[in-house]
Amino acid sequence: MNFAQQGSKTSQAADFDVVAIGGGFSGLYMIHSLREAGYSVRVYEAGGDVGGVWYWHRYPGLRCDVESFAYCYYFSEELYNEWTWTSRYPSQPEILRYINFVADKFDLRRDIQFNTRINAAHYDEVNERWQIYLNDGTSVTAKFFIPTVGGLTSAPNVPNFKGLHSFEGEWYHTGNWPKEKVNFKGKRVGVIGTGSSGMQVIPEIAKEADHLTVFQRTPQYSIPAGNHELDPEYVRQRKANFKELKQQIRNSRTGDFKRLIDKSALAVTEEERLQEFESAWEKGGGLPRYNDLFTNEEANQTYGDFVRSKISEIVRDPEVAQKLMPNYHFGTKRIALSTNYYETYNRDNVTLIDIKKAPIEEITPMGVRTTEKEYKLDALVFATGYDAITGPLFKIDIRGRNGVALKEKWNHGGEISTYLGLAIDGFPNLFMVAGAEGPGAVVNNLVVIESNVEWIIDCLNHLREQGINTIEARPEAAADWSKSVAEAANATLFVKTESWWTGANIPDKPRGFPIYLGGFDKYNQICKEVADKGYAGFSLS
Ligand code: N01
């Protein structure tokens, strides 16, 4: 007997133990785990198939910035062995194939309703059910509501430039790319934005377009991905060591195989430091292993200077190189891994425009007009990021006890408060996965997804065994958690830079740092301790 059968007091035809959102990595693992544990589940997905972020993002050049053997599920050794990764950093098509493989293997699609959005989810205190309203006008109920929406994809940020809709060419956002190949051949293309997405798409468009104009507001750090095909022997070894690797990942600070050395960047000679920097740069993908790059300004400066020296070496035109020099603390915006990003500015068909110096005034029918001149374009690409972390949740009218809207409760993002990044006081039987105040946005998100889903399933099992109907974070536990999130962030340099992590990329969005920076290993340990203590900090009734 499932929860729905046990306690339903409504006359709704469709009532589930759990309703979740999104056919991405979280939603899929949620379906699989809930089914295995004997719960009924329905997932609603706005897209036409599984994939989540990897379904919507299809821009040329897209690769994950986490290595393939870390960015994959570890819940099933059989699955792990059946799938063979081909590159160090998997491309979007390869990840999407993997996700489809998982969905097929575990027959997950039958619990997903595609092409459907959840518009609203209201907690019904009388019936102790979530009432879920869909965009097709129907509604369903569920005992638990788990908005596995991800932190980015469903809320792309297209800046509200004057004249945007007057543009006569085609325009795209990197987060909502057409399935069909976009042909830039022979075209004058503009790209606005130079974050992770811009830095990946720019080199690819430059190869194809007649001319590419890049509109850069803030120069960002990029390090070479060092991507390559995987050697069969390496793949064999990785497959042979599943248990050990899973253990390593689960006990790591960043959810992958990288390890720091217990040494400050300032505790070594300049020569030794430069050797470590060169070696990290050559290998690609990784950072120098010193333990204080993100906590000590001077240490951070040493690597920032090193990257700036690389930009000077790579980019032939000193004026262009100067424009590309980042001047914030290295790594305090998410580090972009790219292939030939800085090299692209040596091409004759690429122009870099500094829009901090000469801001965009408007989009015209013919292109982009800055305060200096108009750039004529046939196509425009917005690599302008996302209303991250809160944006995807705020698109849904989520209301907890007493009809209080999540948006109001969190004061439009100005006062985010969660318990362990998993639950919100005043919102009973709601869980988040890789959500606000968890570590997901700064580490390997997939490991956080697995950890959160497993914690939630254990929790539901506990409630079922104990005959408990509702679980809700206590306000004081949530306040303490938010305090520790802020303390961990304030001990780093991350809070000193404006980024999508702080909310600064969206005009008028309140600033904060709603991400747990204490490390994935510590986070896991805290979540486990809470569960071991009978879900300390939660009210159970
Ligand atoms: O978005 P971003 P993203 N006028 O917010 C600029 C993940 N990801 O899509 O810095 C002009 O980082 C903005 O300028 P500024 C990853 O976690 C992963 O690139 O705000 N410009 C910036 O240059 C990543 O961090 C992968 O001054 C405007 C850019 O647009 C996250 O997604 C690949 C503007 C936005 O950069 C987001 O990355 C891609 C305006 N009004 C993404 N508004 C991989 O796994 C914004 N910008 C490899």
Ligand 1: residue whose CA is nearest its atom 8? 196
CA 271 from chain centre, in angstroms, equals 36
pLDDT for the residue 125? 97
The finding on whether 370 has its CB within 6 A of some atom of ligand 1 is no
The residue whose CA is least distant from atom 24 of ligand 1 is 196
- Ligand 1 centroid to Cα of residue 271, in Å, is 34
- b/e code 14-39 from CB counts within 10 Å (16+ = b): ebbbbbbbbbbbbbbbbbbbbbeeeb
Grouped pLDDT means (10 residues each) for the chain, 541 residues = 42 84 97 98 97 96 97 98 98 98 98 98 98 97 96 90 97 96 98 98 98 98 97 97 96 91 95 96 93 97 98 98 98 95 98 98 98 98 96 97 97 94 98 96 96 98 98 98 97 96 93 96 98 98 97
Cβ–Cβ < 8 Å for 57, 174 = yes
Q: What is the pLDDT of residue 9?
A: 39
Q: What is the residue with the minimal CA distance to atom 7 of ligand 1? A: 196
Q: Are 304 and 330 in contact (CB under 8 A)?
A: yes
Per the document, the length of the chain is: 541
Q: Is 385 in the pocket of ligand 1 (CB under 6 A)?
A: yes
Q: Which atom of ligand 1 is nearest to the CA of 199?
A: 19
For atom 10 of ligand 1, which residue has the closest CA? 218
Q: Which of 160, 161, 384 to mutate to test the pocket of ligand 1 (most atoms within 8 A of CB)?
A: 384
Strand-pair category, 170-173 with 379-382: parallel
382 C-alpha to center of ligand 1: Å? 9
pLDDT at res. 4: 44
Q: Which residue's CA is the nearest one to ligand 1's atom 18?
A: 196
Question: In this structure, how many other beta carbons lie within 10 angstroms of the beta carbon of residue 468?
Answer: 15
In degrees and rounded to multiples of 5, residue 275 shows phi and psi of -60, -45
Token duo for residue 355: 């829009």
Distance 355 CA to ligand 1 centre (A): 15
pTM surpassing 0.80?
A: yes
Determine the pLDDT at residue 259: 85
Instruction: Decide whether any atom of ligand 1 lies within 6 Å of the 502 Cβ.
Output: no
Burial category of 186 from C-beta neighbours within 10 Å (exposed 0-12, middle 13-18, buried 19 and up)? exposed
Instruction: State the CB neighbour count (10 A cutoff) for residue 402.
Output: 8
pLDDT value, residue 13: 64
Q: Is 111 exposed, middle or buried (0-12, 13-18, 19+ CB in 10 A)?
A: buried
